[in-house]
Amino acid sequence: MQPTNKRTAWVCTLVAIGVLGGLGVERVPARDWYVAVDGRPQNSGTRESPWDLESALGGRQKIEPGDTLWISGGTYRFPDRSLNSPGFTVRLTGEPNRPIHVRAVRGERVTIDGGLSVVSPSDYVWIWDLEILVSENFTMSRELDEPGSHPQSYGRPWGGLNIHAGKGCKYINLVIHDNAQGVSFWRGATDSELHGCIIFDNGWKAPDRGHGHAIYTQNENGVKIISDCIMTGGFGYTMHAYGSERAFVDHYLVQGNIAYNGGTFLIGGGRPSRDIRVLENFFYNVNLQLGYSAPFNEDCEVRNNILVNGSLAINRFRQVIQEGNLIIPPGAPRPNEPARVVLRRNRYDPTRAHVLVFNWKKNPTVDVSLDGFATPGMIYRFMEPRDVYGRPVLEGRYTGQPVQVPMQGEFGVWVVFVQQP
């Protein structure tokens, strides 16, 4: 059940007993607001009288630090379907200890069709559990005759999550697919994090090469964190932390991500990079490259990553810490163990985790323990990342014993949800 929209009466009580003056003015409790597909800007923002999405995200409603904007299930289609359409624009400002939360109503599928752009003065905004896509990509060709990264013949919205600004923002458990580009995470966004997102099948094919990446990013100040995301498919790079000699590619923490069957995972450009940390990531049929054309780079730390059917290249870094990485090129012998199973719990949602299996012996099933994540009696659901809203691959009640997960081949990854019965 969602929180109600009623304010508590404690402020009035304090005033009545004469305490407020002695303690100073207290903050007003956070409120819950609601958006619906048929909402209107002149409504009151309650669940019974919801706002429209555009006015609520755009800062035209009185959403204060600490408040939560709940988005009811449905498809929110941005009306401008041109190539240069910005999609829905976010202009919300929270505070360091009181972020504004923008969330799908629990258990409801919220689809943003046409893209989401975060612009100034947005700060301290947490955006959760939304699906972002461009519906034209299900009917229009993804193969163009025009080369280049900005084809005028593309003929549909760019889409994706476009982060142009924002300090201390978090983008949590988003499902971003079938856009020209998945996530564009630019220099104006500082000390922000992309966590638990599923990003797949973005971009297009052109005569010169594939275009559009799962993540395209640059950074100068603060640390950008990209953690525990699942990335696959698409036409361009998986990760493209890249720029010319005028752009900055500095201060990245890349941790716990799963990238498979996609383009190169690149961090580096024409300007020297510094403070690059790549920790505990998992790559299957994806190459990892640090450093591009810069004459030198400063420092990087590459620890405890697993790369299977891929390569690791670290180019022209003055200081390198490289420890605990398992690198298995195509055709190389596999470890002498039946399987390698990894479970990574979601940092912000205790009911969600990613499970990864390297099934070295290609057995038909692999035992997966959910200890530390699920307790006996909980219901579990294993979901295919490309179909996280669909039917479970496997579901049941956890007994405390390992779950037998069906396998097809050497590699598998799932989003796992648990709940009380």
DSSP code of residue 51: B
DSSP state of 59: T
Closest Cα partner for 20 from 6, 10, 8, 31?
A: 10
Q: pLDDT tens, 346-380?
A: 999 999 999 999 999 999 999 999 999 999 999 99
DSSP structural state of residue 350: T
Closest listed residue to residue 396, CA positions, set 412, 374, 414, 365: 374
Q: Does the structure show a pLDDT above 80 at 281?
A: yes
Which residues fall within 8 angstroms of residue 215, CB to CB, at 6 or more apart? 182, 183, 185, 194, 199, 226, 229, 231, 238, 239, 240, 241
pLDDT digits (tens, 9 = 90+) for 179-228: 999 999 999 999 999 999 999 999 999 999 999 999 999 999 999 999 99
Helix (H) or strand (E) run with residue 54 in it? helix 53-57
Residue 19 has pLDDT above 60, yes or no: no
170-172/125-128 β-pairing: parallel
pLDDT (0 to 100) of residue 340: 97
Q: Which residue has the tokens 């505070």?
A: 95
Q: What is the mean pLDDT of the chain?
A: 94
Q: For residue 297, with 0-12 CB atoms within 10 Å meaning exposed, 13-18 middle and 19 or more buried, which class applies?
A: buried
pLDDT at 10 over 80: no
The predicted model gives 332-358 an average pLDDT of: 97
Model confidence at 411, in pLDDT bands (50, 70, 90)?
A: very high
Architecture of domain 340-419: Sandwich (2.60)
Q: What is the rounded distance in angstroms from the CA atom of residue 216 to the CA atom of residue 132?
A: 16
For the segment 31-87, what is each residue's pLDDT rounded down to a tens digit?
Answer: 999 999 999 999 999 999 999 999 999 999 999 999 999 999 999 999 999 999 999
Lookup: tokens for 71: 């988005």
**pLDDT tier at 27, thresholds 50, 70, 90:** low
With 80 as the cut, is the pLDDT of residue 11 above it? no
Cβ neighbours of residue 248 under 8 Å, at least 6 residues apart? Answer: 187, 218, 219, 220, 271
Residue 92: per-residue pLDDT? 98
Convert the pLDDT of each residue in 82-125 to its tens digit. 999 999 999 999 999 999 999 999 999 999 999 999 999 999 99
What secondary structure does DSSP assign to 361-405, as a single string? Answer: T--SEEEE--BTTB-TT-EEEEE-GGGTTS--SEEEE--SSPEEE
In this prediction, residue 29 has a pLDDT band, given cuts at 50, 70 and 90, of confident
387-406: pLDDT as tens digits: 999 999 999 999 999 999 99
Mean pLDDT of 161-178: 98
Give me the residue spans of the domains in the chain.
30-328, 340-419
Does residue 26 register a pLDDT over 80?
A: no
- Residue bearing tokens 């070295």: 360
How far is it, in rounded angstroms, from Cα 235 to Cα 205? 6
pLDDT above 90: residue 16: no
The arithmetic mean of pLDDT across residues 259-278, rounded, is 98
What's the mean pLDDT in 7-19?
38
Domain 30-328 has CATH 2.160.20.10: yes
pLDDT value of residue 20: 36
In the predicted structure, residue 3 carries a pLDDT above the cut 60: no
Question: Is 192 within 8 Å of 180 (Cβ atoms)?
Answer: no
Predicted confidence (pLDDT) per residue in 197-206, tens digit: 999 999 999 9
29 versus 229: which is more confidently predicted?
229
